[in-house]
Amino acid sequence: MPSRISPLHISAYTATSAVGVGKEAHADALAHSRSGLRANDFGDAPLPTWIGRVDGLEDVRLPESAASWDCRNNRLAWLGLQADGFLEAVAAARKKYGATRIALVLGTSTASIGETELAYTQLDADGNFPPDQRRAAVHTPHSLAMFVQQVLGIDGPSETISTACSSSAKVFASAERLIRLGLADAAVVGGADTLCGSVLFGFNSLELVSTEPCRPFDAARKGISLGEAAGFALVERVQPGAPATPLLLGYGEASDAHHMSTPHPEGLGAERALDDALARAGLAADAIDYINMHGTASQKNDEVEGALVARRFPAHTHASSTKGFMGHTLGAAGIVEAVVCLLAIERGLMPGTVNTRTLDEGFGPQLKLEPATGEVRYALSNSFGFGGNNCALVFGKAVNA
């Protein structure tokens, strides 16, 4: 078991998804169980499914100095960075610590592959990209992080974590280690993933996409709804006298060692991630007030994760999946659902599970369809990805210094 870690302050955070831009839009949608899913209208020949699409990305313009990074994913990141005073918070941290002392760890599953897909529809007579698509750095997994590093003006260690749907959860772990070793004083973490042909037709090829809005943990669930989102958080060491913002308390990372696209049948990798996260936080499972589950509405994920929560948590724990609000945002799911947990802690708001009508009988009393209010001292977020890549995060309420 890993040792307990020192908590880190989450001094700023934000999310943008199909339910809207920023914390207020998310808190409002979560409080009123308002889904942001719509019938698929993405692309020329949309599959019959539902998606969590962010409005207005077509009209977003990047800052002139960063215009060469233009693509849907970086537009979404830029829209997201401007919400909730996040740019200002990073600027203040830069002033306080210096640009090379702020690390950048971002998660993404597909980065700007949507732009590469577009370039393949624009090839010239020789089969090459047209001149305006010959932006080498855009067509790579690190595109998002290079763009964000430039617009934030930070120069610390920078990396992209790309472990499919756990990507932007694992960013908290990498950032915590950098700060603990003194290689950075603060870190910007987060991620972005946008809708694109690769994921819509890819998940469709695996027969995992639902023809109706996804219904996590429903006895009659029919698969996932894909979405797009961006989210960011600024993490720093806890300092006396700093504002009482929520804390990163623990994380766990583990592998299923089972199958590329199907979870371990007994959830052993997920449970190992959970145990490591609780150990780093120094908490027992019954301390957790709210669990944001991975809850994709795929048959297998929900079966395995539902059983894990049922066997490890007391009946009073409030657990829900928010995939019905914004869809499965893949590499961005970790950060967006971390933001849901931080909102739960700051506002005492535990979301329900929208679209779901009848819970599968095999699941425990922890799973809630309706939102609830109450004190959330500790919140857990689960993120699981292809390749059997699991991450669990534990956040906690600030202790007033």
Partner 1 sequence: MNTPPTLYIEGPAFWTPTLPGWDAASAAFRGEGTLADPPAKRPSPQVLAPAERRRAPDTVALALEVAAAAIAGADRNAADVPCVFTSAHGDLSINDYMCSTLAGDPKMLSPTKFHNSVHNAAVGYWTIGTGCMAASNAVSAYGHSFAAGLLEAAVQCAADQTPVLLVGYDAPTVGALASVTDSRGLLAVALVIAPERTARTVASLDWSLVGDGAATGPHSAAAATLKDINPMADALPLFEALAQAPGSADAPIDLPLSAALALRLRLQAAG
Residues 207-246 that bind partner 1 (CB under 8 A): 207
Of residues 294, 318, 341, 391, which has the active-site annotation? Answer: 294
- HSE, side-chain direction, 13 A CA sphere, residue 254: 22
Helix 299-312 to helix 268-281 angle (10° resolution) is 40
Kindly determine how many residues on this chain lie close enough to bind partner 1 according to the rule CB under 8 A. Answer: 73
Of positions 16, 174, 194, 298, contacts partner 1 by CB under 8 A: 174
- Shortest Cβ 254–partner 1 spacing (Å): 6
Query: Taking CB under 8 A as the criterion, which residues in 272-301 touch partner 1?
Result: 272
User: What is the rounded distance in angstroms from the CA atom of residue 204 to the CA atom of residue 206?
Assistant: 5
Would you call 115 helix, strand, or coil by DSSP? Answer: helix
Cβ-based nearer residue to partner 1, 173 or 283:
173
Does the active-site annotation cover 142? no
Q: Alpha helices of 37-134 — where are they, by DSSP H?
A: 72-81, 86-97, 113-120
Of 62-70, 338-346, 366-374, 384-392, the segment contacting partner 1 by CB under 8 A is 384-392
Q: State the nearest-atom distance from the C-beta of 172 to partner 1, in Å.
A: 13
Assess 360 for contact with partner 1 (CB under 8 A): no
- If binding is defined by CB under 8 A, does position 160 make contact with partner 1? yes
User: Between 183 and 244, whose beta carbon lies closer to partner 1?
Assistant: 183
Catalytic option among 196, 214, 328, 341: 328
To 10 degrees, the CA torsion angle through 243, 246, 247, 250? 180
CA distance 379 to 292: 8
| Separation between Cα atoms, residue 297 and residue 318, nearest integer Å | 18
Pick left, alpha or beta for residue 345 (phi over 0 → left; psi -120 to 50 → alpha; otherwise beta).
alpha
Q: What are phi and psi of 13, to 5 degrees?
A: -160, 160
- What is the nearest approach in angstroms of partner 1 to the Cβ of residue 285? 19
Return the residue of 180, 311, 357, 377 that touches partner 1, per CB under 8 A: 180
Which region, judged by CB under 8 A, interacts with partner 1, from 88-96, 196-204, 345-353, 360-368? Answer: 196-204
Q: What is the full DSSP assignment across 247-301? A: EEEEEEEEE--S-SSS--TT-HHHHHHHHHHHHHHT--GGG--EEE------HHH
User: Which range, of 238-246, 337-345, 368-376, 379-387, touches partner 1 by CB under 8 A?
Assistant: 379-387
In the set 142, 237, 300, 347, which binds partner 1 (CB under 8 A)?
A: 142
Binding piece for partner 1, criterion CB under 8 A, among 10-18, 209-217, 334-342, 385-393: 385-393
Q: Are 353 and 321 in contact (CB under 8 A)?
A: yes
Q: First CA to last CA across the chain, in angstroms?
A: 29
Shortest Cβ 75–partner 1 spacing (Å): 19
Q: Is 4 one of the binding residues for partner 1 (CB under 8 A)?
A: no
Annotated active-site residue 165? The verdict is yes
3-state secondary structure of 20: strand
CA angle 88, 29, 281 (to 5 degrees): 65
44-73 binders of partner 1 (CB under 8 A)? 45
CB of 378 to partner 1, least distance (A): 22
Count Cα neighbours of 119 within 13 Å in the Cβ-side half-sphere.
20
Residue of the chain from 33, 82, 204, 299 that contacts partner 1 (CB under 8 A): 204
C-beta closer to partner 1: residue 151 or 173: 173
- The answer to whether residue 162 forms part of the interface with partner 1 (CB under 8 A) is yes
CB 337, CB 381: distance < 8 Å: yes
Contact set for partner 1, span 104-123 (CB under 8 A): 109, 113, 116-117, 119-121, 123
- 71 noted as active-site residue: no
The least distance separating partner 1 from the CB of residue 322, rounded to whole angstroms, comes to: 23
Can residue 97 be called a binding residue for partner 1 (CB under 8 A)?
no
SS3 398: coil
User: Exposure of 319 by Cβ count < 10 A (0-12 exposed, 13-18 middle, 19+ buried)?
Assistant: buried
CB under 8 A: which stretch of 10-18, 124-132, 336-344, 352-360 binds partner 1?
Answer: 124-132
Longest dimension (CA), the chain: 66
The residues carrying an active-site annotation are: 165, 294, 328
